Amino acid sequence: MMKTVSLQNWVFKIDPEKTKEYYDNISVEEGCNCAYCRNYIKACETFSKEVSNFYKMLGIDLQKEGEFMEFETDTDEHLYMGFYHLVGEIVKRPSNKKEKWDELNTIKVDNVDFTFSEDLDLVPENFPRPVIQLEFEVMLPWLLDEKSL
């Protein structure tokens, strides 16, 4: 059942139960198995309670199917960007005049920056509709024993 949620200057109609049901019915093995993605999944275990609760509130299982991209940096941390899908609609966004990643259009939860989009990529055929995309950007340590590529 869709419910209206306000997050900072965003307003959504979302169905976290339907989103959770989708994620509950897919396996971790359905995602990519490269070292970068496995490191991201492992690093998800280190996210703060606030970040974990943010995903949970939306119905997203952050260790399952999503799209993750990794960029090495000059530090010991790696920049990860990516997205997940959730059942819902954007009712009101902070600013149509600013860039997607402008401070006005992002929500910061601990060390993760989030934004939402109706421009969708790689939505699974069986994902319930309507769909919006939750995009994220975060710096994470390399946690795997193997070296990054």
pLDDT of residue 148: 64
pLDDT of residue 149: 57
User: How far is Cα 134 from Cα 71, in angstroms, rounded to an integer?
Assistant: 19
- For the stretch 92-138, pLDDT in tens is 999 777 788 888 889 999 999 999 999 999 999 999 999 999 999 99
pLDDT of residue 45: 93
User: How far is Cα 81 from Cα 102, in angstroms, rounded to an integer?
Assistant: 15
The answer to whether the CB of 40 falls within 8 A of the CB of 31 is no
pLDDT exceeds cutoff 70 at 42:
yes
What are the C-alpha distances in Å from 57 to residues 1, 122, 143? 14, 22, 26
pLDDT of residue 64: 87
pLDDT of residue 30: 67
Strand ranges, E, within the chain? 3-7, 10-14, 67-72, 77-92, 107-109, 112-117, 131-141
pLDDT of residue 126: 94
pLDDT of residue 73: 84
Report the Cα–Cα distance between both ends of the chain, in Å, rounded. Answer: 43
Round the average pLDDT of the chain to a whole number and report it.
91
Torsion angle in degrees (nearest 10) through CA of 81, 122, 65, 116: 50
- The closest alpha carbon to 113, from 100, 97, 98, 94, belongs to 100
Average pLDDT of the residues in 35-57: 94
Please calculate the CA angle 66-24-125 and round it to the nearest 5 degrees: 55
Bond from prior residue into 130 cis (ω within 30 degrees of 0): yes
The answer to whether the CB of 67 falls within 8 A of the CB of 122 is yes
Average pLDDT of the residues in 33-53: 93
